[in-house]
Structure 1
Amino acid sequence: MGGSGGPPLCFPNLNSSCRRLLHPPQRTILLYTLMASVSLLTVVLNLLVVVSISHFKQLHTPTNALLLSLAVSDLLLGLLVMPIEGLHYIETCWLLGRLMCALSPYLSYCLLSVSLGSMVLISVDRYIAICDPLLYSSKITVNRVKLSVCFCWVCSLLYNCCILMEHIGWPDRFSSCHGECVVFISRTSGTVDFFFSFVGPCGVMFILYMKVFVVAVSQVRAIQSQVTVRAAPAAKKSELKAARTLGIVIVVFLMCSCPYYYPSFAGDDTSTSLPYYTLLFWMVLTNSCVNPVIYVLFYLWFRRAIKLIVTLRILQPHSREAKIL
């Protein structure tokens, strides 16, 4: 049918195949190049974060353990989700089969939930570091952070399994033809997800960072006026700088994520067949590439670590003890 002058099909040998929308060759090459570049850049930059924090002992801190979790989820998004979503968009057909149609959305939802959970944990970490600096070292330890990160990953797996249960069990339920993979989330499930995956976490981050901002401003004013506050010891300057940088990471994340929840906010059903869904989803994915760029701009230790990694000096003996901070 596809070879007899009819419209191009995703699977020419199947009469029930979906029609295929062909892009001009130049546009196809450009899209593949752009998709591969963004995916590769996301993987490389986040891999540098993972290697830096994992290798150098000075970077084995509770805050960096949270950044490591965020970098791992962003790396997997660039390595697995971006190529699949790019292939689907460029080819305008789902070519990966029924099993991948069930697993791919689940994987992407889980990784995005882990990223959001890591942001919330980072907000809690910065709140205690700035607002309660004396008790920070006793309250926030590397082992406790690791347990929190594991809990975040497990909760993401279980939560998204509940949200996408119908799709995982019946991935072609809303597919009208072969070569189509439609993820449909009902208005009820979408509303629940909107509050649990967006409103709740964003509310927590906003409240904590407003308190951090108020305390930080008061401490800066106290330092400028050379007033020593014994009852409430000031946080270190490095802690304030880290709070500012991680605040920027959270703000950028929210800017990229807010449009994605527009259907839920408007009270509509969420479906991958929406004409603007691809744009909204890729805005969320692009954030995975932006985070390491923020680290490069604001973290001196990350720039030093990159230099040691690129020059292969991390292969030298005792490189784990190198002074990064």
Structure 2
Amino acid sequence: MIRARDTSTMLVISGTHNGTEMVFTLESLAQAGVIFIMALAIIITNILIIATLLNFRGPSEVMNCYLLSLAVADLLCGLLVVPLSVYPAIVKLWVYGDIICRLVGYLEVTLWAVTVYTFMWISVDRYLAVRKPLRYETLQTKTRCQCWMAFTWISAAMLCSPPLLGLNEPAYDSEAYICMLKWSNMAAYSVTLAILILGPSLITIVYTYTYIFRMRNKLRSGVPFHDKEYATALSESLSNPSHMMSFALVVAFWLSWTPYIAVKIYEYRTGKFNNTQLLHFGIVWLGFLNSFWKSIILITLSPQFRLALRIFCMTICCRYKGRMQAELIGMEADD
């Protein structure tokens, strides 16, 4: 039986599910709506990114391999993780069973590891473009980058498999309405995973971008280079907007997840747990919102992606005629 009643602060709708009474509040419906809109935004934008990059036949296909990896990881998150929290947010109960809960937790950490590893390879790619601008095209081939991406996905899936094999019970977060791994119950595995994923990734990202910005400042300050050919190639490489675009992607990712990581570290070290449901809900889904920010950064900071997006739109709208016009746009951009 469903019944509704007005209170002084909100409309409350209550009903029964499998003999258990549930209460639907405006707050829960609003939070479910936020999750649903996030899922749609993540799915639509990442499908658009994947279609745009696959349709593009211009230069810089090496970077496109990494961007495709990020977009696929975000799309899987939008399809297989985020939507499963919409209904639990309404009924305030996980209704899909322990197996699905375990799979969701496994997918979250696997896709997160893939993203972190991909950012590491992107930073290495940008480092090589600055460190060895004359040999970059021979060092970073499309086939080599595809192999690195395949290795990244396979290794991430294997490293994150212990919780899937039953070494840890699935944990439903009733405040964020999502299943997440309970790292405190497997401290040794958590430390090992952090060393294998966060350790090399953070060290590589910090070192490579420090070098890139240092060389950029050196070039702007007019420091003379003995090899003029190298100086010219370095100047052309540093003028590539992919450096700032990739750096913005990394910064956006860590800014999205830093509040959640900071709160969890604080709670673990102090033993004091924050009971504010809205805060906990916000920091969890702020992290997942990173899967949407990438599209905004690509459109804002990447002229090549904007060109590829324009080509894709013309191809879809005008078919073969639009394809010819798009190729002419690409030729004009190269000139």
- TM more than 0.5: yes
- Structure 2 match to 1:12: 18
Q: More displaced, 27-36 or 203-212?
A: 27-36
1:52-82 deviation line (CA, Å, top 9, x unaligned):
1111211561111111111111122122211
1:46 maps to 46
Unaligned runs of 5+ in 2: 4-13
Given the superposition, is the C-alpha separation of residues 228 and 104 from structure 1 closer, same or farther in structure 2, using an over 3 Å criterion?
same
Judge which range, 257-266 or 112-121, deviates more.
257-266
* Count of aligned pairs: 308
8 Å contact from structure 1 (residues 42, 78) kept in 2: yes
Number of the residue aligned with 2:125: 125
For the residue of structure 2 that corresponds to 1:22, the secondary structure is strand
- Is 2:77–2:108's contact at 8 Å kept on the other side of the alignment? yes
Percent of aligned pairs sharing the same letter: 19
After superposition, the Cα gap between the structure-2 partners of 1:152 and 1:181, relative to the gap in structure 1 and judged at 3 Å, is: closer
1:44 and 1:85, CA in 2 relative to 1: closer, same or farther beyond 3 A? same
CA distance in 2, matches of 1:79, 1:280: 21
| 1:22 alignment partner in structure 2 | 24
Matches within 5 A, 1:170-319: 170-171=169-170, 183-185=181-183, 186=185, 187-222=187-222, 229-230=227-228, 232-233=230-231, 234-235=233-234, 236-237=236-237, 240-262=240-262, 265-266=265-266, 268=268, 278-311=281-314, 312-313=316-317, 315-316=319-320, 319=323
Task: Name the amino acid aligned to 2:320.
Answer: Q
Name the structure where strand makes up a greater proportion of residues.
2
Contact 1:50 1:68 in 2 (8 A): yes
Q: TM-score, normalised by structure 2?
A: 0.78
> Relative to 1, partners in 2 of residues 1:279 and 1:32: Cα closer, same or farther, differing over 3 Å?
closer
The Cα shift of 1:148 comes to 0.2
Shift of 1:139: 0.9
C-alpha contact 1:93 1:180 (8 A) present in aligned 2 = no
**Per the alignment, do residues 59 and 286 of structure 1 end up closer, same or farther by CA in structure 2, a change over 3 Å counting?**
farther
- Alpha-carbon distance change, 91 to 255 in structure 1, aligned in 2, over 3 angstroms: same
Indicate the SS of the match to 1:134: coil
CA separation in 2, counterparts of 1:220 and 1:268? 45
Q: Do 2:39 and 2:83's aligned partners in 1 also have CA atoms closer than 8 Å?
A: yes
Amino acid in structure 1 at the alignment position of 2:58: Q
Structure 1, unmatched stretches of 5+, are none
- TM-score w.r.t. the length of structure 1 is 0.80
Find the aligned partners of 1:128 and 1:244 in 2 and give their Cα distance: 15
